Amino acid sequence: MDSYTQKYVDSFMAELTAKNPGEKEFHQAVKEVLESVAPYIVAHPYLMEQKILERIVEPERIIMFRVPWLDDEGNIQINKGYRVQNSSAIGPYKGGIRFHPSVNLSIMKFLAFEQTFKNSLTTLPMGAGKGGSDFNPKGKSDNEVMRFCQSFMTELSKHIGADTDVPAGDIGVGGREIGYMFGQYKRLRNEFTGVLTGKGQSWGGSHIRPEATGYGVCYFASAMLATKGDSYEGKTVAISGSGNVAQYAAKKALQLGAKVVTMSDSNGYIYDPEGIDADKLAYVMELKNIYRGRIKEYAEKYPSAQYFPGERPWGVKCDIAMPCATQNELNGEEARTLIANGCMCVAEGANMPSTPEAIEVFLSSKILYSPGKASNAGGVATSGLEMTQNSMRLKWTPDEVDRHLKQIMTDIHEACVKYGTEEDGYVNYVKGANIAGFIKVADAMMAQGLV
Ligand code: NDP
Ligand code: 2IT
């Protein structure tokens, strides 16, 4: 980066951190994008004059609200609710809702910011938003979750709509929560519309949406591997997380001929050197999705596996790593360990799972590395396909949705190669994804004037 561009980056970050004090995840996400797009902006002075990136980092609207609810003992509980409507440049606001005790404004803003570029990459007309609450679903009864979702939606319903803002799931929000929120929206508005995605199959949901993020990560990683004439076949894969994304990433990796040896949750990870095969994965799905259990129970059921409490899976020898749990779950030291152990591909299922230092390690080692905004975009892309089907009032077959998903992931891969290939031929997917995502949003903003 030349000194003029570096000065632009430094002054941009100084202003951003001064205006948004303490929002460390938000600063981190902006810095990563800024470092990729700054040379493009400097080369196109009108983008600087029009303050396009300065506008994108200021969400169009942030809604913060109180979520009061009654627990099963009749006690009053109060949580915080958020919806960050970041950008409507290319379509209605679109993005997930996260229920996790760590949720705060910085995390909501980083996720909404990332979503802006991710949704642009999908090739579909979707703007970007993110929402959530510091509500902790763990240990809550179904009735408590329902009352919470109803209270959350009672306020959120004033700000969303099928052509305005279409939320979906994220950490702590799956089919059950989407159902309760959809029911409450319908009751308040007396309107059956595609206001949420990730709906149930019998009431407007799309086939493959539950699978889409995890499958999409594998389709994207397959495209990366293909640039080296390689594939998942015979590879050893380490996965973190054991929720929606991790489960379907594991399922597709297995189908593609890989051996998956780890899964995790926030308490620890399991290592099964014999591989988590289809039967064992079906057990994990039942354990997590129906019984809402913990991953350590896997090691109690399968003696081939060992449980490592309080640890993350990145010390295990693998060819491919797929972080599918949460932000900043893979640091510089763990990245160096992965490389030392021969890992040749890291495909992110989570949003911003690698720290900036880890990303630096991957890029300087020139391994195949995809940022979440590219490789996990299959989830929101299939949400976009759910919106399409809702608008048409019909439902595509699983094969048809899967075909679209594959094509979209291939197209995102191509966009990354187009904008991210460096002089020596190495594809920097971070740069490629950020520039490709930015250009479309910037062009739309230029066309629509100062709004
Ligand atoms: P789930 O709630 O289904 O699963 C989350 C998994 O990650 C659980 O195993 C959970 O463990 C673990 N986890 C959550 N928080 C932490 C933490 N602070 N430390 C360690 N482990 C943690 O969520 P999803 O699978 O839907 O989401 C996973 C990631 O993928 C997130 O980054 C999300 O933003 C991203 N993503 C999700 C998409 C989707 O369609 N669902 C689309 C694109 C990205 P525990 O049970 O202990 O909490
Ligand atoms: O981070 C994400 O892309 C999601 N949680 C999915 C969003 C969506 O609207 O499907």
pLDDT of residue 5: 97
Q: Is the CB of 36 under 6 A from ligand 1?
A: no
Ligand closest in space to the Cα of 95: 2
Q: Is the CB of 325 under 6 A from ligand 1?
A: yes
Which residue among 94, 109, 130, 440 is the active-site one?
130
Closest CA to 94 of 118, 129, 56, 125: 129
| Third-level CATH fold of 210-370 | Rossmann fold (3.40.50)
Radius of gyration of the chain from Cα atoms? 21
pLDDT of residue 441: 98
Phi then psi for residue 11, to 5 deg, are: -70, -35
pLDDT of residue 97: 99
pLDDT of residue 10: 98
Ligand 1 center–CA 349 separation, angstroms = 9
Q: Is the CB of 247 under 6 A from ligand 2?
A: no
Give me the sheet containing 320-323, strands edge to edge. Answer: 306-309, 268-271, 259-265, 236-240, 320-323, 345-347, 368-370
Q: What is the DSSP string of 377-438?
A: THHHHHHHHHHHHHHHT----HHHHHHHHHHHHHHHHHHHHHHHB-TTS-B-HHHHHHHHHH
Ligand closest in space to the Cα of 116: 2
Q: Is the CB of 129 under 6 A from ligand 2?
A: no
Q: Is the CB of 266 under 6 A from ligand 1?
A: yes
Residue nearest atom 40 of ligand 1, based on CA coordinates: 379
Ligand 1 center–CA 210 separation, angstroms = 13
Choose the residue to mutate in 178, 266, 290, 405 for probing ligand 1, maximizing ligand atoms within 8 Å of C-beta: 266
Mean pLDDT by 10 residues, the chain (451 residues): 96 98 98 98 97 98 98 98 98 98 98 98 98 98 98 98 98 98 98 98 98 99 98 98 98 98 98 98 98 97 98 98 98 98 99 98 98 98 98 98 98 98 98 98 98 95
Q: Is the CB of 350 under 6 A from ligand 1?
A: yes
Per DSSP, which regions of 228-354 are E strands? 236-240, 259-265, 268-271, 306-309, 320-323, 345-347
Domain with CATH 3.40.50.10860 in the chain: 61-192
Active site residue 130: yes
Choose the residue to mutate in 114, 130, 244 for probing ligand 1, maximizing ligand atoms within 8 Å of C-beta: 244
Residue 276 gets which letter from DSSP?
A: -
Ligand closest in space to the Cα of 131: 2
Ligand 1 center–CA 243 separation, angstroms = 6
CA dist., res. 289 & res. 307, Å (int): 20
Ligand closest in space to the Cα of 121: 2
Ligand 2 center–CA 243 separation, angstroms = 14
Minimum-distance ligand 2 atom for the alpha carbon of 94: 9
Domain with CATH 3.40.50.720 in the chain: 210-370
Q: Is the CB of 132 under 6 A from ligand 1?
A: no
pLDDT of residue 256: 98
Q: Is the CB of 379 under 6 A from ligand 2?
A: yes
Q: Is the CB of 367 under 6 A from ligand 2?
A: no
61-192 to CATH, choices 2.60.40.1180, 3.50.30.30, 3.40.50.10860, 3.50.50.60:
3.40.50.10860
Both tokens assigned to 137: 């679903």
